[in-house]
Amino acid sequence: MILSAKEFLERDESGVYTEVDITHAMIEFAKLHVEDALKAASEKAEMKDDWDNQKGSIDKDSILQSYSLENIK
C-alpha cells in the first residue's frame, strides 16, 4: 500500500522539518508514487489485436523503465 503524503511525513514523529528535510521527503514521496504507477501500468497493460488478429506481447520492463527516477529532483 502506498502512503499518503500526510502518512509519509508522519513517519518522522518529531514534527520538526527543515527545508532540506521537506525537499528530501518530497523527492522520496514522488519516487514511491512513480514506481507504484509504473508497476501498476506494467501489470494492467493490455495488448490489442494486431492486423491479423494475433495477440502480441508487452515488454513490462519497457514500461517500468520508461520514466527514470533520476528525473525527480
Rounded to 5°, the CA angle 22-31-61 comes to 170
Q: Is 34 within 8 Å of 12 (Cβ atoms)?
A: no
Q: How confident is the model at residue 50 (pLDDT cuts 50, 70, 90)?
A: low
What residue ranges do the domains of the chain occupy? Answer: 5-71
Q: How confident is the model at residue 31 (pLDDT cuts 50, 70, 90)?
A: very high
In angstroms, the CA 42 to CA 63 distance is: 6
- pTM higher than 0.85: no
